[in-house]
Copies of this chain bind each other. A is one copy, B any other.
């Protein structure tokens, strides 16, 4: 017999303590959505904040018995609605799992709980001369658990890869409440299926990650920075292709289009030195150190000039480099001068960046809304960001149309509908389209095998069969 809601809450309170089970709707509403305005969000039955694996197991078992869905979440910085509540669900908040359990410099690895904030973890390992690459834009408040669930990227990826590249092993609470320890502490290992990489990026649909063993890298050298302005977007795109083709691997390569540059200049009340005809800025860094960094930056600069850059500026000064990068980092905030923003996430082959930006310009004209494109040029991972008036249902509808139109362009260029933000509750139809019926069937088969009662984050990523 199915447990009633009251019985479930009693059971959760017995297992976790009263303070860890919240039903006050003022509080639970604050845990009901992430940062993606497009996604629907339901009202949870309760929000629970377990602080140990026993608590997670007890929550999973009680919810399984009551047939109440669980939506796991971290800080809620996500941009796909994956962490948004479903009506009547239990939101399982992992932020109390906030300990770094081990840092092992001699094996260059760490064991970390999912509730640790990305920046705190970065800072902790940095004290040992070590580097944890994944650096999503929200790195000062997002958690490692959220990063794992969405396979987060950031600006580091062009040289250092995404979250899954750092994951060695995971501890996961499964749908029946049992604990899976998968992966390893060694650099290499092929004992069985790579389950760890299956759970990474599964957006809370297969289990609850309670611990991660991650590999670390040596701390890179302080980066040198290059800025290059272009009066044609195609020229900037060609520069990116040339950088890839010529075998350069900058530690950062970001792009800003004309709308982004204008927004940042206005917000920072400064002139980025790009000139009024500037259509695109490339920001590059090399963290190779010393002469090698100088050579890398010089080679990047030469490629930009060869491709028609109208302005280049290189600096080894760290503070100046940070200031230049600041222009890229503030774009989303800067866009709030004009309205609220809706950021998209699409990844195209690196040779197609200029075409994507051109597509966004066309869509901007069609829907009559400002669209600023910023992105990780070195990966082809672009974030066209649509600005609309917060109080206009019509503009919101047009923003939504633009959001979809951008994905359409991305797919047509051989890209994917999400490079790093995930599918969540906003791109289910797009996922189905990208992966096709066979891909969708395999997703459902795996979900059914590991979570037969559709307990974890049901309806996120893809709909049940």
Which residues of chain A have a CB within 8 Å of any CB of chain B?
104-108, 129-130, 150-151, 153, 157-158, 161-162, 164-165, 174, 178-182, 184-195, 197-198, 200-202, 218-219, 241, 244-245, 247-249, 288, 290-292, 347-351, 376, 378-381, 414-423, 427, 430-431, 434-436, 438-439, 441-443, 445-446, 448-450, 461-462
Contact = CB atoms under 8 A, between A and B. Distances in A.
A445 B439 contact: no
Contacts of A187: 157-158, 347, 350, 378-381
A190 B247 contact: no
Nearest to A220: B247
A244 B215 CA distance: 12
A190 B418 contact: yes
Contacts of A415: 184, 186
Copies, count: 2
A106 B378 CA distance: 12
Given A188-B419, A192-B443, A197-B197, 17 more contacts: A108-B350, A130-B247, A153-B188, A158-B187, A164-B194, A181-B439, A186-B416, A187-B378, A189-B419, A190-B422, A190-B423, A191-B416, A192-B435, A192-B462, A193-B443, A195-B442, A198-B198
Nearest to A200: B194
A186 B419 contact: yes
Nearest to A450: B445
Contact of A218 (B153, B248, B439): B248
A106 B350 contact: yes
Nearest to A164: B194
A427 B422 CA distance: 37
B201 A198 contact: no
A415 B168 CA distance: 12
23 contacts: A108-B244, A153-B188, A164-B194, A180-B438, A184-B347, A184-B416, A187-B347, A187-B381, A188-B420, A190-B419, A190-B423, A191-B416, A192-B423, A193-B202, A193-B443, A194-B197, A197-B198, A218-B247, A218-B248, A290-B292, A442-B450, A446-B449, A449-B449
Contacts of A430: 191
Given A197-B197, A449-B448, A106 B191 contact: no
Contact of A247 (B129, B179, B198): B129
A173 to B, nearest CB: 10
B188 A218 contact: no
A436 B434 CA distance: 36
Nearest to A345: B190
Contacts of A244: 105-108
Given A180-B438, A191-B435, A442-B174, A107 B186 contact: no
A295 to B, nearest CB: 9
A188 B439 contact: no
Contact of A241 (B106, B219, B436, B445): B106
A436 B417 CA distance: 37
Given A194-B197, A198-B193, A245 B188 contact: no
A348 B107 CA distance: 10
Contacts of A288: 292
A218 to B, nearest CB: 3
A163 to B, nearest CB: 9
B351 A107 contact: yes
